[in-house]
Structure 1
């Protein structure tokens, strides 16, 4: 049985109904109390408890729309512009305005700030670990709906741009049309899922079907469906040598963690790395790092094994796309092994620990008088603190 609203809390209605129904009740009640006993100007400090890359745009755009709808104005002092590093507990921005107009907004604007900032930081780190590699955002299937997918694509673009300023290639696109604009594209990228290969009955036939339907597109072929990564890749190369010679053919390694890539076992995996990156395996490693180097799935040894086979068969311009669990740590291991990856397909910039994404806001001034709860004095503005001031006002 649905719970009835408690006495004194009528069902939300009017233009603010969506805000009222999705915000924490105590913020709604605070707004009602302030409206009854007298409004004041307040300033919120908005921050996260872990280091992040600043990604406030979605929050600021939402506040702009609310200010316009309510006929009010919010003052914004952005202390860390989009794409810059922010330390733990350091206010990303200060938000000033009518307490009655701001009290009920905290739940929703924090939702739009925390996850993008953490995801942007993860994307930034991944790009810096493999600066010569292009990244493709393949996070959409792992998102809880369209709003989260938009936040994660935005975050990847912010982290990517920050890494590009330090010389990385960064993200070159993503997998859906709806969020492609964050990467300066009109549409998403992608060729085939495993389902198409199962439908076609062979890896080669799936490649032929795709090329027949999209002859102008570059061809990226999944090669792990039948466990014949090397054999099937070479078969496709022999069928489409002109695409290979033109650099328009690539193979995506997505071997799952339950088995080795074709032709590999533990001994051969060590031997492959001994040939190409001996330093990467000659010091102590954690179990996870060893798996990324010489274990099952898409390891550094697997990437090198595929590169060896393609080069030996006369296809040096055929590219390798690697996916499956590419987070910051795996990217770092691949860099140490100098794995010859051309593109990484990843959704692992989505935070693993969701509690790290919780943004927080505390009021630090009432009518210009500094005041904050005990223990949060570090949020107060410091004398001489550099401010980057903007405003969110009616449009």
Structure 2
């Protein structure tokens, strides 16, 4: 079984029907977010790289056809038209790391209709999930106000694949490290970790546990101090670090309770012990809201570790994403359903610092002093360049956030910038709407 079967059944039934009807003309689908989730002033485009990997390797094999037939409870021969189908189209997309807004196409796929249809589900899965997690991670970086952040989400994400994605997206957002060893190794990103409460509990007391850990790891160590009594744990950790002369680079970690108050108490103990260089790491149910509160309160926390709430984007775990047909065989098309109206035609998004983005038709001349967001990243089913690096996406995000208004960057009650549509796009939308409505039976009946 290949990734070709990672799709919704109706994609298969539609693609098969298109092939039997001879509908193989080029079709363009646009993937976009209808509305930003509550509490979001912007989104971070993500998921494009694995989406391109999928498209580059997409091919319906014999085993896939057999699986499709089994799902439909039909003879394998009925599904034969799908055999050998591969992706041979073009993709124009917003590179990962760019800030994006509602209604802006994150990518456009142009390919023979059956091909463009059959890849819908996988593209939505990759782009929507990773965009929502990247956006959450970026907000954590904003909240931390320069303090390093570490990803601790692997044990709570929805599967190891999602955990890898969370680590990568944290790197894109500006995190300093991850606890995920596989991701750190694959990405060339710093791995970071301490110890668990079980380690402390396995020893007769905290001091013996701390000394054993330090003996095993000759470099800087981070000691978890809140297994029993946090204040006592800090004092024991300070004594061990001072006895072993291991202060520089070392840290203590607070994982529960009133992190602000505990951090202030721990800082006082460490300073009094002559260990001002020992850092304080805080973890335990944190996301951008908790981090922002601690930073505003002036808590003496040096590093924030965020996990569950960020890895699953707990307060906004999904996007209202859509992948809609906007053109078929040169004919612009649109959907008129209530509250889900789409705009027809291939598009481009033009950006200019200090101004709303302009969503325009792809054939329009760009407005003065703007730069296009969508770039051709695949042609003829092949990438137009080497795979993008997370470091490149990180630079794009940093540059885009520097151009956004403070109101969009707020952690509490942000105000997203609303893109505008070009006059040509508005005119095409009105024209196509009128053509569709003229063909509707209800309209025809009224005209009699």
TM category (shorter chain) comes to 0.7 to 0.9
TM superposition score normalised by structure 1: 0.76
SS in 2 for 1:363: strand
Change (3 A) 1:244 1:338: farther
3-state SS of 2:10 partner: helix
Instruction: Show the counterpart of 1:43.
Output: 28
The 3-state SS of whatever aligns with 1:349 is helix
Residue 343 of structure 1 is matched in structure 2 by 303
- Kept after mapping to 2: 8 A contact 1:123/1:156: yes
Q: 1:201 aligns with which of 200, 204, 209?
A: 204
- What's the Cα RMSD here? 2.3
Q: 1:377 aligns with which of 322, 326, 342?
A: 342
Residues 245 and 318 in structure 1, CA contact (< 8 A), matched pair in contact too: no
Aligned equivalent of 1:176: 180
Secondary structure of 1:315's counterpart equals: coil
Corresponding residue number in structure 2 for 1:58: 50
1:237 aligns with 2:238: yes
The question of whether the paired residues in 2 share the 8 Å contact of 1:173 and 1:183 is answered with no
Q: Say which SS state the counterpart of residue 226 (structure 2) adopts.
A: coil
Shift of 1:244: 6.2
2:425 — aligned with what? none
TM-superposed CA distance for 1:301, in Å, is 2.3
Cα pair distance change 1:25/1:372, threshold 3 Å: same
Match of 1:191 in 2: 194
State whether structure 2 residue 270 is matched by structure 1 residue 310. yes
Q: Secondary structure at the match of 1:364?
A: strand
Measure, in 2, the Cα distance between the counterparts of 1:355 and 1:140: 16
Deviation at 1:349, TM superposition (A): 1.7
Note closer, same or farther for the CA distance 1:335–1:67 as it changes in structure 2 (3 Å cut): farther
Looking at structure 2, the residues matched to 121 and 394 of structure 1 have their Cα atoms a distance apart, in angstroms, of 28
Map of 2:314 onto structure 1: 352
**Residue from 152, 159, 162 that aligns with 1:138:** 152
Offset of residue 358 of structure 1: 4.8
Structure 1 position 70, deviation (Å):
5.0
**Alpha carbons of structure 1 residues 243 and 337: separation in structure 2 relative to 1, 3 Å:** farther
Q: Normalising by structure 2, report the TM-score.
A: 0.67
1:390 corresponds, among 373, 377, 382, to: 377
Per-residue deviation, residues 8-39 of structure 1 (Å, max 9, x unmatched): xxxxxxx65x423x321111100100110011
Are 2:252 and 1:248 equivalent residues in the alignment?
Answer: no
CA deviation digits over 1:235-283, x for unaligned, max 9? 222222176664232111012xxxxxxxxxxxxxxxxxxxxxxxxxxxx
Partner Cα separation in structure 2 for residue 224 and residue 355 of structure 1: 30
Aligned residue pairs total 324
Higher alpha-carbon deviation: 314-323 or 172-181:
172-181
Q: Which runs of 5+ in 1 are unaligned?
A: 1-14, 161-170, 256-296
Structure 2 CA distance for partners of 1:354 and 1:131, relative to 1, 3 Å: closer
Aligned to 2:394: none
User: How far has the Cα of 1:140 moved from its partner?
Assistant: 0.2
